[in-house]
Amino acid sequence: MIRIAAVLLLLAGAFGAEQAVADDAATTSAHDFTFDMPYGDPLALKDFSGKAVLIVNTATECGFSGQLAGLQQLHETYAGRGLVVLGVPSNDFGGQEPRQDGDIAKFCEAKYGATFPLVAKTSVRGKAAHPFYRWAADTLGTAARPYWNFHKYLIGPDGRIEAWFATSTSPTSKKVTGAIEQILDGLPGS
């Protein structure tokens, strides 16, 4: 009964959420956005131009948090070929990221071996959503916006969104690794 209530709550949030609208209509690329790192330094996505970037909203207390190990596996397997795995901790879904910015990366490394970059805790939905997430929803439509933790966007070397994957899609699934490999195979020097 509790699972049914959780599913109904999730669906209510999915269908009741407001349509995200990008504030910057001129934005044409993920490379136009910057995230904050845990201690305030900026992380510009344009710094990853020419690489593939998998952007994933994470939460350490989520039932899907085991995906952090899978994201680390992607990082270890593909970083040398040009993939950047970027975690975006968020407390937007069920309050499942209770940790402070400085503690999130430490916890992820200790429990899951995660050494890929994690930005500062960031909102990914609604009016408070980070501009990247509003742009992604505007670009791809409401079906492609995060409805829970561990939603994934795959950004190509030119900054365009090449694919998105729902929470339930494992980062090490053939669907995800196939899309990553297709991009990496097209990079110079591959």
pTM: 0.86
- In 15-89, the DSSP E strands lie at 34-36, 42-44, 52-58, 83-89
Which of the following is catalytic: 30, 53, 62, 74?
62
Query: What pLDDT digit, counting tens, does each position of 81-134 carry?
Result: 999 999 999 999 999 999 999 899 999 999 999 999 999 999 999 999 999 999
> Measured in whole angstroms, how far is the alpha carbon of residue 148 from the centre of its chain?
11
Domain boundaries, the chain: 2-185
Which 3 state secondary structure label does DSSP give 82? Answer: coil
**Residue 108 annotated among the catalytic residues of the structure:** no
Q: Are 114 and 72 in contact (CB under 8 A)?
A: yes
Q: How confident is the model at residue 6 (pLDDT cuts 50, 70, 90)?
A: very low
Closest CA to 139 of 62, 40, 67, 32: 32
State the Cα–Cα distance between residues 170 and 67, nearest whole angstrom: 7
CA atoms within 13 A on the CB side of 66: 6
At the topology level of CATH, where does 2-185 sit? Glutaredoxin (3.40.30)
pLDDT given for residue 27 in this prediction = 65
Query: What pLDDT digit, counting tens, does each position of 141-159 carry?
Result: 999 999 999 999 999 999 9
State the Cα–Cα distance between residues 67 and 23, nearest whole angstrom: 31
